[in-house]
Structure 1
Amino acid sequence: MNWSAKSIQHKGTERIAVYFEKNTELINRIKQIQGAKWSSSKMVWHLPDTDENRIRFKIVPRQQLLPSAEGIEQIEKFKRHLRSQRYSERTVTTYSEALRWFLVYYRDKSIAEITNIDVIDYNNDHILKNNLSSSYQNQIVNAVKLFFQTVRETKMLVDKIHRPKRAKVLPNVLSKEEVKLILEAHSNLKHRTMLSVIYSCGLRCGELLALRPHDIDSKRNIVLLKNSKGKKDRIVPLSPKILEMLREYYKTYKPHYFLFEGQTTGKAYDARSLQLILKQALTKSSITKPATLHWLRHSYATHLLESGTDLRYIQELLGHNSSKTTEIYTHVSTKSLQQIKSPFDDL
């Protein structure tokens, strides 16, 4: 049976990806391994990155994936610096992991001896050779640059380090009809309300789950989003229909601390469970698109644009720093495209 395996980063966690041509026997064997999951985004089966799984799939032991003692010490200093600068814990993890992989590669070299040339060599001999993503490449450059500028107080000339061109990927958007089917698919009030609030307010998953009852200002018809991405507060309008749904939800479930709580009182609803709720809605609606919760946010922005909302307001509603980030929705809006007549019609 032909297969291969390698360690990957998936949703901020170290996993082992197993690649093989579709084979029922091998799929059944992998399913029996604890923690095995299928990734629809990466189109691969992946498992927990444990010593047992590394031995099972003949991957380099963990001991060889550690930086030198000096490297480990410097990574801890880097983490402390990031936290002192109030970086989010997710950013601390992303940057320190990127730096760790870089220092593993140069584990036999003193950190004081590492230069720009080493970063370029790492790019060519490791990242490009192993066909790793451009986003990972950018993470490495950013982490190395910040580490040497702050912890080591040495300037890396990052302008000389090749950065990949970012892929111009268009956001995935659902039609209003598809959104309606998804939002009406569940009979469970909590499930229906959570999905509806995400779409109607253009929220990120984490923003929805961090909401507390007092963040809903029914007198001003707004939702207050505190400490969102980039540590920014913002407000978004609350539709009267959603307010009525929220009132019915609140009377039924009487949440204590978070607006949407799981089975444990006072604990926020689980993000993975919410994604599963969306998948169930897609199945019930017979929608075959591999939609995620973020598709609802993209659809909100695109539908606003198509209804004539100014791009500057959409930028504020989504919490984007740059207008360029918001402008991507002009490429998926069909309002202008539908007015273009194909020359084929004149043949």
Structure 2
Amino acid sequence: MTPLRQKMIRAMDLKNLSHHTRRAYLAAVNGLAKHYKQSPETITNEMIEDYLLYLKNEKGNAPASCCLVLTGLRFFYKHILDQQIDVGFSLTKTPRKLPTVLTKEQVWKTISAPKNLKHRLILMTTYAAGLRVGEVRRLKPDHIDSQRMLIKVVDGKGRKDRYTMLSKKLLKELRHYYKACRPQAYLFPSTYKKNKNKPLSYETVRSIYEKARKKVGVKNGDGIHTLRHSFATHLLEAGYDIRKIQVLLGHSRLSTTMIYLHVSRETLSKVPSPLDLMDINHASKEDSTHGPGHQT
């Protein structure tokens, strides 16, 4: 490990950054250094701009991904090299895309696809409780509160704890899983013996979802976060209050949860077209009464 990397890890630890943020920031600096095959200390602002344009135009990275790289680089140059980087890259014209949502049938096929019991329970828990990948990875057996039918989410996004629902069907499956696998430190531990007291990696959980989705022929819904989107939308379509869904998801702002109103088929289908509100027969009679050449 290089001295610069050690200093950056220490700085991120002092800032109490989340594990996900640390990984992203380290990857940003590492990617820049590998691209130019030289130390970040010798890289100029213009070279950083060229690298971001390379990521956007040639690699096809989304503007949000490029900005995350830039945020990581700014952290490194400010806190490690004591330099300010002046790079003109922004998200001012980034369109907001609606989340992809699976039907209930597609969700059930996907979460039932894995033959491996642990893999099946990971997908079922993610959907049933509306969890993020990092949240389902870090679940521990004592986070399952069967008395109050709640799941405690510890250290969620923004380092916040919250409670979400515990499905009766999920509880039944989790009890069967616990008897069969006897998890200790984490509910879904790593399969490697040397890491048996550590959670599964992000890559493993994402791979479990992608393999299951493709196995049953679900072509839409890239990324396991689709299960969380589907959780929120299906609750909304079932008639549950959007503010309660906001709490279950752990959103700080209601506006973030409101996006599911735009993808809810039930919500949209209840709004009639203005064409259907027209009294065609009445309108036709009025026109015939006025006759040709009538002015209003």
The TM tier, using the shorter chain, reads: 0.7 to 0.9
Q: What SS does the corresponding residue of 2:99 show, helix, strand or coil?
A: coil
Q: Which residue of structure 1 aligns with residue 132 of structure 2?
A: 204
CA deviations 1:2-41 (Å, max 9, x no partner) are xxxxxxxxxxxxxxxxxxxxxxxxxxxxxxxxxxxxxxxx
Structure 1 residue ranges without an equivalent (≥5): 1-71
Describe the shift of the 1:270–1:340 C-alpha distance in structure 2 as closer, same or farther (beyond 3 A). Answer: same
Q: CA deviation at 1:140?
A: 4.0
The amino acid of 2:66's aligned partner reads: Q
Report the structure, 1 or 2, having the larger strand content: 1
Which one scores higher on RCO, CA 8 angstroms, separation ≥ 6?
2
1:11-26 mapped onto 2 (5 Å cutoff)? none
Describe the shift of the 1:101–1:283 C-alpha distance in structure 2 as closer, same or farther (beyond 3 A). Answer: closer
Distance across 2 between alignment mates of 1:292 and 1:299: 12
Please state if 1:98 is matched with 2:25. no
Describe the shift of the 1:281–1:148 C-alpha distance in structure 2 as closer, same or farther (beyond 3 A). Answer: closer
Out of 75-84 and 102-111, give the one that drifted further. Answer: 102-111
CA deviations 1:98-156 (Å, max 9, x no partner) are 34555675969976x966xx478547875566465313431343234334443455555
The number of residues matched between the two structures is 271
Distance across 1 between alignment mates of 2:166 and 2:197: 24
Distance across 1 between alignment mates of 2:272 and 2:238: 21
1:264-275 mapped onto 2 (5 Å cutoff)? 264=193, 266-269=197-200, 272-275=203-206
The amino acid of 1:182's aligned partner reads: T
Q: Which residue of structure 2 aligns with residue 163 of structure 1?
A: 90
Q: CA deviation at 1:199?
A: 0.8
Q: Which residue of structure 2 aligns with residue 297 of structure 1?
A: 228
Please state if 1:323 is matched with 2:250. no
CA deviations 1:193-227 (Å, max 9, x no partner) are 33221111011233223211111111111111112
Q: Is the 8 Å Cα contact of residues 203 and 318 (structure 1) preserved in structure 2? A: yes
Q: What SS does the corresponding residue of 2:239 show, helix, strand or coil?
A: coil
Q: Which residue of structure 2 aligns with residue 150 of structure 1?
A: 79
The amino acid of 1:252's aligned partner reads: A
Report the structure, 1 or 2, having the larger helix content: 2
Distance across 1 between alignment mates of 2:90 and 2:220: 32
The amino acid of 1:95's aligned partner reads: Y
Q: What SS does the corresponding residue of 2:148 show, helix, strand or coil?
A: coil
Structure 2 residue ranges without an equivalent (≥5): 281-296
Q: Which residue of structure 2 aligns with residue 311 of structure 1?
A: 242
Q: Mark the structure with the bigger radius of gyration.
A: 2
Q: Is the 8 Å Cα contact of residues 314 and 326 (structure 1) preserved in structure 2? A: yes
Describe the shift of the 1:343–1:92 C-alpha distance in structure 2 as closer, same or farther (beyond 3 A). Answer: same
Q: Is the 8 Å Cα contact of residues 29 and 72 (structure 2) preserved in structure 1? A: yes
Describe the shift of the 1:145–1:174 C-alpha distance in structure 2 as closer, same or farther (beyond 3 A). Answer: same
Q: CA deviation at 1:174?
A: 0.6
CA deviations 1:281-329 (Å, max 9, x no partner) are 4456443335432211110011122223333332322223343332322
RMSD over aligned CA atoms reads 3.7
Q: Is the 8 Å Cα contact of residues 102 and 221 (structure 2) preserved in structure 1? A: no
The TM-score, its normalising length taken from structure 1, stands at 0.63
Describe the shift of the 1:256–1:94 C-alpha distance in structure 2 as closer, same or farther (beyond 3 A). Answer: closer
Describe the shift of the 1:157–1:219 C-alpha distance in structure 2 as closer, same or farther (beyond 3 A). Answer: same
Q: Which residue of structure 2 aligns with residue 139 of structure 1?
A: 68
Out of 305-314 and 141-150, give the one that drifted further. Answer: 141-150
Q: CA deviation at 1:269?
A: 4.4
Of 85, 89, 108, the match for 2:15: 85
Distance across 2 between alignment mates of 1:277 and 1:200: 16
Distance across 2 between alignment mates of 1:183 and 1:109: 44
Identity of counterpart residues, as a percentage?
Answer: 33
